[in-house]
Chain A
Amino acid sequence: MNLVALDAWIIITGVLCAVAAALLGNFLVLRKMSMMGDAISHAVLPGLAAAFLLTESRSSIPMFIGAAAVGVLTAMLTEWVRNYGKVDEGASMGVVFTALFALGLVLIVRAADHVDLDPDCVLYGAIELTPLDLVTVFGWELPRAVVVLSIVLAIDLFVVLLFYKELKISSFDPNLATTLGISARLMHYLLMTLIAVTTVAAFESVGSILVVAMLIVPPAAAHLLTDRLGWMIVVSVVLGAASAVLGHLGAIWVPSLVGFGSTSTAGMMAVVAGLLFVVAVLFAPRHGLVSKVAYRALLSLRIVREDVLGILVRAEERAAATGMSASELRKATMAGAVPLGIALLQLRVSGRIVRDGGGYRLADAGRVDARNLLRSHRLWETYLSRNLSLADDHVHAPADRLEHVSHLADQLDAVLDRPSEDPHASRIPRGEA
């Protein structure tokens, strides 16, 4: 097998792991049970040890069943300790999986006389070795891990598609699911069983702790990127696959920068998934930090612009004043120098205001906008006074904030029966296009 094929098989294995795990991880993240993935994956070690000690055989199938069974047992014991012992959920998980892991370590040491069970492999996986372990399927020589993971992925996909509606409802609202006749409990254990099986299939490649990275990190990132479950699953699967591909390339490339050979692909997969997560935290369209900051900045700029227009049109109304200087505007809007400067520049560029001597005054286009704002402000004042019974001398301040919600002006106008004056007897301008 040449090197390119070797790398290709490693990447395929990684992608299969990541996709199978991410598919299920979405439901864990939505159920706020992410740490259950961690608990179940730790159970692989005692599962393998127990299966070996019970069957005295090293063949794959008992091992697989043993590890998956202990995984499900972890979920059940956690539930049991929480219910009957009245222990906080996090703590009951902590008690169960550490105890099982410790038991696993002891069992493995006892078994180590007979067999090379390597906990390092269980923890970190040995994805680099997977292409060397081949089986023949339909005359094709395929890495065994690829075959196993494909089957597990197919099962996961089948169950998720079959029970999509049930999983969805029981993840968001278990009580609703129960009233609709869906057993939330059954769905819980179905999911736990799938996760145990997937973890067992994947631990050999990416290691039992890094399965957690594939279970949790891509879905967590996807949760920030979209609000729809269907899309969340798709996005998480894509992110998982991307971290597998980039992770392997990174494992070869990054250490060479500092003069070493390659490093663990599994570790780098988790690192890449983490980097993708960071990108999602920062730049997600709606929930990202940068976009939230940007949205707030744009909103506050719009408010400054509207305040400037409102102040100018009121000045005109009072005394047909010619304009106001920047410092007067700054005092009136209470905005910072920089936001005000930007707002004034934007207003001038869009032809809403013009410079006039040392100050600014409204242009015709600006006057139209300003009147609409004034209309919004005064309609809100009228509404607050009439419908919410605020005192007339108390409506200005809230209206000052609400006036920026100007798209409701026409509705307010209709509700208030087209008033012509606000509570302070100021004329309400008619709507203009």
Chain B
Amino acid sequence: MLETLTIEDGGKVALPDAVQTRYGFKPHTSIRLIETKNGVLLVPLTDAPMSAALQAELEEWQALGAGESVNGNMVVPAPYVLATNLSIKDRSREDEWLHAHQVEYAGQYVALEGNRLVAHGNSFSEAATAARAAGVQDALVVFVESPDTPPYLGF
């Protein structure tokens, strides 16, 4: 999320609702303010000492230069790790379906679950929304290129 906020009288800043929800910020929650090279971090404050995870994250911020800056202002935050070693879904059956039906669905978006076509449409939203309506939450949604499309050479 990138949003411009305005500091009000007394140094008050109203955080967007989505940010408050994501980080568990509720009214009267104490937070820790941590200065970095390019700005500040707000972290919910607990009675416990700073965790090793947060300490490591702070070191990452410093080591990575905290994203990209333009004219000395940090505008793009560096990524940080939320989770590792999550399960990886085998999509080989989706690949098989795509190879078998490439000509038939060229130029369309398809939503696939295994070797089953869940939905298709002319836009990503159309196919993904139809898949969700069909109760398939993790359908793979891809644009089917024509077999005549020249090989990819970057943008």
- A and B: real partners? no
Report which B residues bind A (CB closer than 8 A). Answer: none
Residues of A within 8 A of B (CB): none
